[in-house]
Amino acid sequence: MSRRSFVGASALSALAGSGAVARGLTGSVRPAPMIDGLSFLPENLEEIRLAGLTGMICDVSRVEEVRDADGTPRYQRNFGVNDKALDAAVSRIDASDEVFLATRGSDIGNQPGCAAFLQFQSCETIGEDLRRIAYFHDKGLRVLQLTHHNDNKFAGGAIEREQSGLTELGRAGIAEMNRVGLLPDVSHGSVPTILQAAQASRSALAYSHGACRAIVDHPRCITDEGIRAIADKGGVIGIFMMSFWLTTDSRPEVDHLIAHIRHVINIGGIDAVGISNDFPMAGQENLRQLGNDNAEGVKEYLGWWRAMRKLGIPGYEDDPEHVVIPELNNLSRMMTIRTALLEEGFSQGEVSKIMGGNWQRLLVDVLG
């Protein structure tokens, strides 16, 4: 057993003896939660248990690719497809013993299986009809992202030549999310969108998955000002697994992920950071099939990357060299990260917050 594996295994028993534990309804002690701030329902739902997750924000939206007149690809999540996608996800969850539909943050750990908080990555599903926010809430949706990469009717996206913020519809939409009890998610938003959403929302909000612009200067990454705005509101920034937004070094490593975690803590405090995936539960499948050969696997991203360069979007000047951190492109990523944090000198209590405690607190604060 490697030192990292030994420390990871020891961490589980150590957590039970530290302050990083919780008590269930029967009074029994259970380990601190491990919560993924953004992942997806796998085909084999047993993978959720194998990943060791107590909870997850689970994107159940489906993307339709459309192309501009010049052939530029756009990826949209429209109402009809995603209304059906939400129903299908709820049905799959209801039939499983591995995961359950969570509607309140307090559901985490209070019944068997992983608590899944369902999310759409964009308000394109809402269109201009704000009644759909309550409609989707009634069906089980609990997290709603304002936009995905590009501008929409609610807000400005990060991947645009010119940055714009919330629209009037977007402000009204956030007010409706606050009213019905949906967690607003500003991932993929422009700088103005993130700052204006933090001002507009009565509740805390999430930047469910991303990285820090102070480390990788790319518009998909959040600025220090954005980190402070979310942290001051009581929200959480999730650091994800997409390595080309974690480092410009030629070889991505776990330490690069930890550098982003440290940066969020330095800017926003220990309560402001969590872990996210943004790949399928078992990892980016094409890279896994390639034995995590990043030089080969990155090729599937180059068409989109170069299309953004052609449009003059900042941050796309140079081709990326990798997609994944090989050590994390698997079901055991959460324990690997936990072990690495302990090795890097984080305390048990700090690790508990980073690995899930902060997400749990946010979900309880916003959803009850």
Mean pLDDT for the stretch of residues 89-101: 97
Report the pLDDT value the prediction gives residue 31, as an integer from 0 to 100. Answer: 64
Q: What is the 3-state secondary structure (H, E, C) of the chain?
A: CCHHHHHHHHHHHHHHCCCCEEECCCCCEEECCCEEEEECCCCCCHHHHHCCCCEEEEECCCCEEEECCCCCEEEECCHHHHHHHHHHHHHHHHCCCCEEECCCHHHCCCCCCEEEEEEECCHHHCCCCCHHHHHHHHHCEEEEECCCCCCCCCCCECCCCCCCCCCHHHHHHHHHHHHHCCEEECCCECHHHHHHHHHHCCCCCEEEEECECCCCCCCCCECHHHHHHHHHCCCEEEECCCHHHCCCCCCCCHHHHHHHHHHHHHHHCHHHEEECCCCCCCCCHHHHHCCCCHHHHCHHHHHHHHHHHHCCCCCCCCCCCCCCCHHHCCCCHHHHHHHHHHHCCCCHHHHHHHHHHHHHHHHHHHHC
Q: Does residue 12 surpass a pLDDT of 80?
A: no
Q: What angle do CA 125, 130, 133 make, to 5 degrees?
A: 65
Report the pLDDT value the prediction gives residue 10, as an integer from 0 to 100. Answer: 36
Q: Does residue 245 surpass a pLDDT of 60?
A: yes
pLDDT digits (tens, 9 = 90+) for 138-154: 999 999 999 999 999 99
Neighbours of 23 (CB within 10 A): 10
Q: How confident is the model at residue 286 (pLDDT cuts 50, 70, 90)?
A: very high
pLDDT digits (tens, 9 = 90+) for 39-52: 999 999 999 999 99
Report the pLDDT value the prediction gives residue 30, as an integer from 0 to 100. Answer: 53
Q: Does residue 13 surpass a pLDDT of 70?
A: no
CA distances from 57 to 30, 134, 339, 356 (A): 21, 19, 22, 11
Report the pLDDT value the prediction gives residue 108, as an integer from 0 to 100. Answer: 97
Nearest 5°: phi and psi at 153?
Answer: -75, -15
Q: Tell me what the pLDDT averaged over the chain comes to.
A: 91
Q: Does residue 26 surpass a pLDDT of 80?
A: no
Whole-angstrom distance, CA of residue 286 vs CA of residue 103:
33
Report the pLDDT value the prediction gives residue 266, as an integer from 0 to 100. Answer: 98
Q: Does residue 9 surpass a pLDDT of 60?
A: no
Look up residue 351 and give its two tokens: 């690790």
Q: How confident is the model at residue 67 (pLDDT cuts 50, 70, 90)?
A: confident
pLDDT digits (tens, 9 = 90+) for 174-201: 999 999 999 999 999 999 999 999 999 9
Report the pLDDT value the prediction gives residue 7, as an integer from 0 to 100. Answer: 33
> What is the amino acid identity at position 116?
A
